[in-house]
Structure 1
């Protein structure tokens, strides 16, 4: 039996990261000043999960909702949104310069289908996203925390994948990528252990055609690391 908000009964609150500050450069400051009113929200501004009316107010239109956790500096976010104009993309990032740089890339690309929330990805999933409401969740190249003493900081655990599954609509897709083989194995194991998710590729998935080669991906390839993509679908 699920909890009232759709979480599995064995769910324990997992933690990602808290918002981080940082000085904006001139480009970032101009982008933030020009576009924050339309494109930007703080997670703390919301006091309840978003319903369909809230999403229409936020994006200016009804469309399938995609959540990207950890949009970083936003270059790939803008590129992906440009080739997926059929979806509303809610990008979550903790680093303020990354938020502002994302606005710069969105403006240069002429994309107006992305809204950015500065906050913790887990908290956004838990508190702002209704069960069974997401079309897709993207988690591309999260911090692998490679040192043994930091492994507990990795985001993708069975608790996290159960949370993602509870927020996806039936048939919705959870897309992940990493260039760190041990973390890839952990991602695969955690997603495979979640009853509500099935592996759409029966193993590693091909890189989604809409996802460009990210900075982290190019760095990993240059250093001789393999790229691992995963695609899991909510049953």
Structure 2
């Protein structure tokens, strides 16, 4: 049996709508009705481990928030008032877990579409008992547009988004003027937008796009040193050892 196919012995009637969507055979995140923007991701039937599948089935309702076309009540979602940090595209969640653990004073909302990554981070949240981290499995553009009220975010993390290296695919890159303007409108004055990439050409594009947004101001002359709160992943460490570059950009909302 394919690991992407739900166990037929598990009756769908016993699972929530969110879990059923996450475990759908297509490997897709919940549907995004009325979408007009160009997506920065493509759904693929990727590998998912049994542990990740188990986490989706048993932990999704505990640690995730369903997408809804209305502003999120963060205090209710986290059970407390605290600065809210949005992370877009957390991958397998290694960095997200470490940051949330080292910054318990902040609430973290991670957005990811792929089942394997969501399942992985769900396991990390449960095993590390992280109370200040929640997940939304949905398209990030729609989450920011519909669920995040203006000037409510203390920060945004966008780490190593898909670089779409072929020129004809650059339109799919997440960091585009319209989306950056939307993000800037959701960040409170004094908050920050932190991007990182290991593609130099994409870093240059990010610098141009972020620098052109009137609500944002660069904290450095161009690229920033990696801040202590962003841990260096094993993949990043290997890349640096091989001579690959990594570029961080940290802009403040004015």
Same fold (TM over 0.5): yes
Flag structure 2 segments of 5+ consecutive residues without an equivalent.
1-35
- Residues 31-40 or 155-164, more deviating: 31-40
2:96 pairs with one of 77, 81, 105: 77
1:148 pairs with one of 145, 164, 167: 167
2:62 pairs with one of 17, 33, 38: 38
- CA distance 1:114–1:134, shift in 2 (3 Å): same
Give, in whole Å, the separation in 1 of the partners of 2:43 and 2:244. Answer: 30
1:158–1:190 CA contact under 8 A, matched in 2: yes
Task: Name the residue aligned to 2:152.
Answer: 133
Q: Return the structure number with greater relative CO, CA threshold 8 A, min gap 6.
A: 1
Partner deviation per Cα, 1:64-108 (whole Å, 9 max, x = no partner): 111000011111110110001111100000101110100112223
Query: Would you say 1:49 and 2:98 are equivalent positions?
Result: no
Query: Would you say 1:26 and 2:50 are equivalent positions?
Result: yes
Aligned pairs for 1:62-101 (under 5 A) are 62-101=81-120
- CA distance 1:129–1:189, shift in 2 (3 Å): same
1:93–1:117 CA contact under 8 A, matched in 2: yes
Count of residues in Structure 1 that have an aligned counterpart in Structure 2: 219
- SS of 2:65 mapped into structure 1: strand
Partner deviation per Cα, 1:127-175 (whole Å, 9 max, x = no partner): 1111111000000000111112211111111112111111100111000
- CA distance 1:195–1:70, shift in 2 (3 Å): same
CA-based RMSD:
1.9
- SS of 2:80 mapped into structure 1: coil
2:244 pairs with one of 217, 225, 233: 225
Query: Which TM-score applies when normalising by structure 1?
Result: 0.87
Task: Name the residue aligned to 1:105.
Answer: 124
Flag structure 1 segments of 5+ consecutive residues without an equivalent.
1-11
Q: Which has the larger radius of gyration?
A: 2
Give, in whole Å, the separation in 2 of the partners of 1:83 and 1:111. Answer: 10
- SS of 1:173 mapped into structure 2: strand
Give, in whole Å, the separation in 2 of the partners of 1:68 and 1:164. Answer: 12
